[in-house]
């Protein structure tokens, strides 16, 4: 756990630099609590992509708590803010795995968020746990997406079920599940083409893929993971809402957290749609996918402050 924590911290170092530096500047030092401070906090949250509404709500709650607990020093606010953020993120939720037979995980998202890469990393994760993994090449639209998945399949030693480019992704899903049943695979990771959530036809196609999966295994898909790019702004909320409606998203994978993107989008999403974040991508390597632990995440976000405190 300690190793995980330090790696997470490392991955989040930029996140911390941006978010925490700003908040840190405001909260450390012997400042008194005043209106200006609250406004500055709200600004810092908005700048982290938390969203205007979420930022306002968080600061309002912080105000209430400060009043209830009769806080006077700016520094004391830090603890409270960290608690509030952790509360908003909710409790961590483990992956839902099938008790018998293959677990089907459907991976969806808009273009360019890192679906195929995430599948490669997930395959590696499950392979390491000794599971037998099948990758279903359901992105039949983008040029060379199938080749990309095959390379990931080789790297992680997972089997790839594919058809030709332009094939019906639902047919690929069907094939993959049949293969999983006959080869007694543990995990099926179903790739899909990136689609903007406001394209009705493409969303209907996704609905069909899901329907076919459920027809073959009634409890499946056991997880529908929405891959979100951490650099995305408020549109991430819209993505979460619409993919939720169409595909019944059960969890979020937040990718590209290793940049300067501030991860505030996680707060924004939790504030508006309740879908737990299950994994985070914090690097380009095969192992750079981590289960999301809300408490750790909140702590890692604010841990820069402890260092600053000395």
Partner 1 sequence: MFQGLSEKLQETFKKLRGKGKLNEADVNAAMRDVRMALLEADVNFKVVKDFVAKVKERAVGAEVLESLSPAQQVVKIVHEELIALMGGAESKIQISPKPPTIIMLVGLQGAGKTTHAAKLASLLKKQGKHPLMVACDIYRPAAVKQLEVLGEQIKVPVFAQAGRAAAEIARAAVEYAFKQGADVLIIDTAGRLHINEELMGELQEIKAQVQPQEILLVVDAMTGQDAVNVAETFHARLGLDGVILTKLDGDTRGGAALSVRAVTGCPIKFAGVGEKIEALEAFYPDRMASRILGMGDVLTLIEKAQEAFDEKKAQEMQQKLRKQEFSLEDFLEQMQQLKKMGPLSSIMEMIPGIGKQLKDVTIDEKDMAHVEAIIRSMTSDERRKPSIIKDSRKRRIAKGSGTSIQEVGRLLKQFEQMQKMMKQFAGGLPGGLGKGKKGKRAGLPFVR
Give the residue with the Cβ less far from partner 1, 43 or 79. 43
Based on CB atoms, which residue is closest to partner 1, 121 or 222?
121
Stretch that binds partner 1, among 46-54, 66-74, 216-224, 295-303 (CB under 8 A): 46-54
Binding flag, residue 48, partner 1 (CB under 8 A)? yes
Q: CA gyration radius for the chain?
A: 21
- Is 112 among the residues that bind partner 1 (CB under 8 A)? yes
Closest CA to 261 of 22, 47, 26, 21: 47
Told to check if 147 binds partner 1 by CB under 8 A, we report yes
Find the part of the chain contacting partner 1 (CB under 8 A) among 98-106, 131-139, 217-225, 257-265: 257-265
Binding-site member from 143, 182, 184, 285 for partner 1 (CB under 8 A): 143
Q: Please give the Cα distance from 169 to 163 (Å, whole number).
A: 9
Tokens of 86: 């952790």
261 interacts with partner 1 by CB under 8 A = yes
Would you give the end-to-end CA distance of the chain in angstroms?
24
Task: Phi first, then psi: give them for residue 79, nearest 5 degrees.
Answer: -55, -45
Q: Show the site string, 5-44: x = touches partner 1 by CB under 8 A, - = not.
A: ---------x----------------------------x-
Question: Which residue in the set 6, 72, 198, 245 belongs to the binding site for partner 1 (CB under 8 A)?
Answer: 198
63 binds partner 1 (CB under 8 A): no
- Smallest gap, in angstroms, from Cβ of residue 208 to partner 1? 14
Spacing of C-alpha 72 from chain mean position = 36
Under the binding rule (CB under 8 A), the answer on residue 91 touching partner 1 is no
Alpha-carbon span 277 to 293, nearest angstrom: 8
Q: Please tell me whether residue 47 binds partner 1 under the rule CB under 8 A.
A: yes
Q: How many residues bind partner 1 (CB under 8 A)?
A: 45
**Rounded to an integer, what distance in angstroms lies between the CA atom of residue 31 and that of residue 192?**
51
224: part of which helix (H) or strand (E)? strand 223-229
Cα–Cα nearest to 275, from 292, 296, 256: 292
Which residues on adjacent β-strands are paired with residue 187?
A: 103, 133
Three-state secondary-structure class, residue 290: strand
Using rule CB under 8 A, residue 152 touches partner 1: yes
Give me the least distance between CB of 42 and partner 1, in Å please. 11
Tell whether residue 110 is a contact of partner 1 (CB under 8 A).
Answer: yes
Name which of 284 and 306 has its Cβ closer to partner 1: 284
What is the DSSP pairing of strand 277-281 with strand 289-291?
antiparallel
CB 32 within 8 A of CB 73: yes
Phi, psi of 183 (to 5 degrees): -95, 0
Segment interacting with partner 1, rule: CB under 8 A, options 65-73, 94-102, 216-224, 256-264? 256-264
CA distance 281 to 254: 6
Residues that bind partner 1 (CB under 8 A): 14, 43, 46-49, 51-52, 110-114, 141-145, 147-148, 150-152, 165, 196-201, 229, 231-236, 238, 256, 258-262, 265
């Amino acid at each position: 756990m300690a190793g995980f924590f330090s790696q997470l911290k490392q991955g989040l170092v930029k996140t911390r630099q941006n978010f925490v530096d700003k908040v840190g500047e405001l909260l450390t030092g012997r400042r008194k609590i005043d209106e200006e401070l609250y406004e500055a906090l709200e600004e810092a949250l908005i700048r982290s992509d938390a969203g205007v509404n979420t930022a306002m709500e968080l600061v309002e709650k912080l105000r209430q708590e400060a009043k209830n607990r009769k806080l006077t020093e700016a520094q004391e606010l830090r603890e409270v803010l960290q608690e509030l953020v952790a509360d908003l993120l909710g409790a961590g939720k483990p992956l839902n795995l099938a008790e018998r037979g293959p677990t089907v995980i459907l991976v969806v998202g808009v273009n360019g968020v890192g679906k195929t890469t995430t599948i490669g990393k997930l395959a590696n994760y499950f392979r390491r746990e000794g599971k037998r993994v099948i990758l279903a090449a359901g992105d039949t639209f983008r040029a060379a997406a199938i080749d990309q998945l095959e390379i990931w399949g080789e790297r992680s030693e997972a089997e790839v079920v594919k058809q030709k480019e332009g094939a019906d992704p639902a047919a690929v899903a069907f094939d993959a599940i049949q293969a999983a049943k006959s080869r007694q695979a543990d995990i099926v990771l179903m790739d899909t083409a990136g689609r903007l959530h406001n394209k009705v036809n493409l969303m209907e196609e996704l609905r069909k893929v899901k329907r076919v999966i459920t027809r073959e295994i009634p409890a499946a898909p056991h997880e529908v993971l929405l891959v979100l790019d951490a650099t995305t702004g408020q549109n991430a909320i819209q993505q979460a809402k619409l993919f939720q409606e169409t595909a019944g998203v059960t969890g979020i994978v937040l990718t590209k957290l290793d940049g300067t993107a501030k991860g505030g989008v996680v707060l924004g999403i939790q504030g508006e749609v309740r879908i737990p974040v299950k994994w985070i991508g914090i690097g380009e390597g095969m192992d750079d996918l981590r289960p999301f632990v809300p408490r750790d995440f909140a702590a890692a976000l604010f841990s820069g402050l402890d260092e600053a405190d000395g």
